[in-house]
Amino acid sequence: MPLLINLQLLRQKAQQVTGELPVAEFAEGFQDDLVRFVAPLHHDLEIRYEGEELFIRGLLKTELECNCSRCLKTFRLRLELPDFAVLAPLQGEEAVPIEGDFANLTSLLREDSLLALPTAPLCKPDCRGLAVKAPARDSRSRDLSPAGPADGKSPWDALEQLKLK
């Protein structure tokens, strides 16, 4: 099931849309050496008209299986954007597809999910890869705390920056 929004209803009032898009739906044909989608794209979105565009805001999350770009170890990574927000035009080249009374937001969510993927996933921020054995006494190198969203390196950052343009 694609994510379809009834524009007639939306004209009357904002819609709250919660659900999941299966991997086959939102990541169809996606191929990457290091990253695979392993969970549906969960979305919890508020959608309303903003002038002649759609304003879409809310939560997107899914789960990835990655291979570390340095040591190739396989690990799971939650991809979560709690403050996803986008203005989607209904006309012009960038317009979301319209089918009758419905706007299809599947490809929009797909594109933004793909933009947010890590290009060089790391099993941990200070992974040293296969070639170099980390010397135990080398404590000066980098004192990074275990991976956490607070380090500002969320894979969604790329998306956030795009939205600021």
Dihedral angle computed from the Cα positions of residues 95, 58, 161 and 52, in that order, rounded to the nearest 10 degrees: 30
**Other CB atoms within 10 A of residue 103 CB:** 22
Give the residue with the Cβ less far from Zn ion, 19 or 125. 125
Q: Under the criterion CB under 5 A, does residue 103 sit at the interface with Zn ion?
A: no
Q: Under the criterion CB under 5 A, does residue 127 sit at the interface with Zn ion?
A: yes
Least distance from Zn ion to the Cβ atom of residue 34, Å: 11
Q: Which residues pair with 147 in a beta bridge?
A: none
**Are 48 and 55 a contacting pair, CB within 8 Å?**
yes
Give the residue with the Cβ less far from Zn ion, 96 or 123. 123
Give the residue with the Cβ less far from Zn ion, 67 or 154. 67
Least distance from Zn ion to the Cβ atom of residue 38, Å: 18
**Contact range with Zn ion by CB under 5 A, out of 59-67, 97-105, 121-129, 151-159:** 121-129
Class of residue 145 by CB neighbours under 10 A (exposed 0-12, middle 13-18, buried 19+): exposed
Class of residue 28 by CB neighbours under 10 A (exposed 0-12, middle 13-18, buried 19+): exposed
**Contact range with Zn ion by CB under 5 A, out of 27-35, 87-95, 116-124, 131-139:** 116-124
Q: Under the criterion CB under 5 A, does residue 71 sit at the interface with Zn ion?
A: yes
Q: Under the criterion CB under 5 A, does residue 123 sit at the interface with Zn ion?
A: yes
Grouping H, G, I as helix, E, B as strand and the rest as coil, residue 95 is: coil
The token pair that represents 21 in the structure block: 């898009």
Give the residue with the Cβ less far from Zn ion, 42 or 73. 73
**Are 33 and 65 a contacting pair, CB within 8 Å?**
no
Binders of Zn ion: how many residues, by CB under 5 A? 6
Q: Under the criterion CB under 5 A, does residue 27 sit at the interface with Zn ion?
A: no
Q: Which of residues 51-70 bind Zn ion (CB under 5 A)?
A: 68, 70
Q: State the residues that interact with Zn ion by CB under 5 A.
A: 68, 70-71, 73, 123, 127
